[in-house]
Chains A and B, each alone.
Chain A
Amino acid sequence: MPQIFVTTAKGETHVLDAESGITAMMAIRNAGLEGMLALCGGVCSCATCHVHVDPSSAAMLGEMSEDENDLLDGSIRRNGQSRLACQILLTGKLEGLRLTIADED
């Protein structure tokens, strides 16, 4: 059960007791947090679950796929910490993960 820290675009930080085996996008959506449209429902087909990963958490995550990279390229909010939350699978190893939900495009 990884505990993760999610800051909304408005700057409020929420602590989520997330389940293992679901994506960060689903955990954020289940918690009802604002600003995660997730229009494609988490199948790596849009960029509306865009998050910025705190540098302290970067090492927890694997490489992004070409699809994820191409989709993020389409977002004006992209920076060096950008990831798609639907591509972050939560496991015990992601305990303490820190994310910020990106502003809408």
Chain B
Amino acid sequence: MQDLADRDYFTDHSILLDPYAYFEALRAKGPIYRLPGRDIFVVTGFEESLEVLNNNADFSSSVSTGGAAAPLPFTPEGDDLTGQIEAHREQFLGGELLVARDDRPHSNSRALLSRLFTPSRLKANEEYMTSLAGKLVSDAVAKGRCDLIKDIAVPFATLVIADLLGVPPNDRDHFMEVIAAGVPPGSLDEEERSDQNQPLVVMAGFFVNYLMERKQAPRDDVLTELASASFPDGTTPDIAELVRLSTFLFGAGQDTTAKLLGNAMRFIIEQPGLQDQLRSDTSLLPAFIEEVLRLEGSTKMTSRLVRKSTKVGGMDIPVGTKVMVALAAANRDPRRYENPRDFVIGRPKIKEHLAFGRGAHVCIGAPLARVEIRIVLEKFLQKTSNIDLDETVHGPRGARKLAYEPSFIIRGLEELQLKLTPRQ
């Protein structure tokens, strides 16, 4: 029987059901561990993860879309790979997406998007989010059932971003179809992985038109703001970059949010007493959501390329190697969290967890994700007296059958069939 720690995280489907056991097997080897015979270091320690995430000088994000196991598009030479990385950027899978950018191009582009996620902007979108959530949940409650992922989470997350970006209502259905047909990021199957950006390509066509229209004839909307914005250093983005940023928001904020909702709902159903507790006091939802993020955030890991030799936790990390920061493992580091596997609402400093990453690349959509999840869960709790899993699909309590998406990045259920009892 193969030692758990020797399984290949990037291709092994059997780890999917319980990646946390795999991470604990690695943690036993140390907070940073070089996979035997490979050029990949896995970080499971909280402090060590922070060291990596806060160090952009030595760690490039160019490999974050393709993952730490993907071969580099060049042979590393010398003691600073920055020049080679930039020369080959287009050859990294998703190398031009915001998540993979480094240095000034990263901070410039991120600054453009940041205006979309301020508290006042989110407040302005809250009315739309609340009414959409209300409708989706009411429809489900009327039927007494739904597939949370397909019927609620994915449409909701997609339409919220579409609304945030100002996509015309007439085009939103098409966006939904395109995304539904796509594969999740970080697929364990190599063939699928090369197709993972296909929906983004289709959406790009739409965004080129929207942005060009608004450059010609500005309106009072977000897309016009994007089309006319300058970078903080005074330079202006080209249309290609604006298109990439717009489509990236779908890539980044749709599957992750939808899967987080599924993970949160599973806790609500399975954790004894929790559902009634939250139903009677929805002000607990924000703290509840943070503990879900810690224990079962929808992003398990992120990757970095070592562009300059460095040290982490006292260990030498040579130039040209890759680092997999196991966020899901860092969030269960017993040196940082007491009884790390226990579900506890109200842990101190809970928002310092790493579910959204940390540092320059910390998830820009985190405030939006938090609001989205809270709003949908509020509606479910308000409109039902009980939520349970459909046992004919997922089996009985204590012997559940759940299928997790085959992705090394995403932690998420492929479906979650709910049985809903309406509130009288």
Contacts and interface: CB of A to CB of B under 8 A. Distances in A.
Contact of A40 (B113, B233, B362): B362
A70 interface: yes
Interface string A1-45: 000000000000000000011110010011010000111111111
A32 B50 CA distance: 12
Given A37-B352, A45-B118, A21 B233 contact: yes
A45 B54 contact: no
Contact of B120 (A23, A37, A38, A67): A67
A44 B233 contact: no
Interface stretch (B244-252, B301-309, B353-361): B353-361
Contacts of A30: 56-57
A26 B107 contact: yes
Given A37-B352, A39-B352, A44 B118 contact: yes
| Chain A interface size, under 10 / 10 to 19 / 20 to 34 / 35 or more | 20 to 34
Interface in B139-192: none
A22 B111 CA distance: 9
Nearest to A66: B120
A71 interface: yes
A43 B364 contact: yes
A94 interface: no
Given A22-B232, A39-B352, A44 B114 contact: yes
B359 A29 contact: yes
B300 to A, nearest CB: 20
A61 interface: no
Contact of B119 (A20, A22, A45): A45
Interface residues of B, number: 28
Contacts of B119: 44-45, 67, 70-71
A45 B367 contact: yes
Contacts of A23: 232
Contacts of B104: 21-22
A42 B54 contact: no
Contacts of B114: 42-44
Interface in B233-258: 233-234
B232 A43 contact: no
B364 A41 contact: yes
B55 to A, nearest CB: 8
Contact of A45 (B107, B358, B360, B366): B366
Interface in B63-99: none
B117 interface: yes
Nearest to A42: B114
Contact of B234 (A21, A38, A66, A67): A21
Contacts of A42: 110, 114
Contact of B118 (A21, A37, A39, A67): A67
Interface in B243-299: none
A88 to B, nearest CB: 11
B120 A29 contact: no
B359 A20 contact: no
A21 B366 contact: no
B232 A40 contact: no
Contacts of A65: 118
Contacts of B118: 43-45, 65, 67
Nearest to B366: A40
Nearest to A71: B119
27 contacts: A20-B233, A21-B232, A22-B104, A22-B107, A22-B233, A23-B232, A26-B107, A30-B57, A32-B54, A39-B351, A39-B352, A40-B362, A40-B366, A41-B360, A41-B363, A42-B110, A42-B114, A43-B118, A43-B367, A44-B114, A44-B119, A45-B117, A65-B118, A66-B120, A67-B118, A67-B120, A70-B120
Nearest 5 A-B pairs (CB), nearest first?
A: A21-B233, A43-B114, A41-B362, A45-B367, A67-B118
Interface of B: 54, 56-57, 104, 107-108, 110, 113-114, 117-120, 231-234, 351-352, 358-364, 366-367
Given A20-B233, A22-B107, 20 more contacts: A21-B108, A22-B232, A22-B233, A29-B359, A29-B360, A32-B54, A37-B352, A39-B351, A39-B352, A39-B362, A40-B366, A41-B358, A41-B359, A43-B117, A43-B118, A43-B364, A65-B118, A66-B120, A67-B120, A70-B120
